[in-house]
Amino acid sequence: MKPAEAYILNQEEPFKSILLHLQLIIEQNFPEVILEFKWKIPFYYLDGNPFCYLNPSKKKKYVDVGFYATQEFDKYNELLISEGRKKVKSLRFSSVEEINSEILVSVLAEADEKKEKGFWKKN
């Protein structure tokens, strides 16, 4: 078992269920992604570039699906949270029921489309 998968399976509820659901949506819609364990969290890579990460915040009681984004998203930008982060935006989920797979897939697809324009750059 990969370290990222073990990390997800070892989370307490509701984080484990949220992470598993997000993992399913991401991997079904983007089968070419590679799940790694970077910076102590599950991190997806696509075409050798960082795609998104899954970060459970037990203190704040949500799971972040984060993106390195140097630009605004065209769709659903109002749903993405930056909270003072200049180059990271995220969707947050406190329960499986809150996950709107249509919105999540749309945001992921836009991040994938914009990767050629430096959308993913971290610096």
- Which neighbouring-strand residues pair with 49? 46
The Cβ-side half-sphere exposure at 51, using a 13 Å CA radius, reads 26
Q: pLDDT tens for residues 69-85?
A: 767 788 998 998 888 77
Domain that holds residue 43: 3-117
Q: What is the pLDDT of residue 122?
A: 45
CATH number of the domain where residue 66 is located: 3.90.1150.200
- 83 domain residue, yes or no: yes
- 123 domain residue, yes or no: no
Mean pLDDT in residue range 45-64 = 93
- 122 domain residue, yes or no: no
Q: pLDDT tens for residues 8-23?
A: 999 999 999 999 999 9
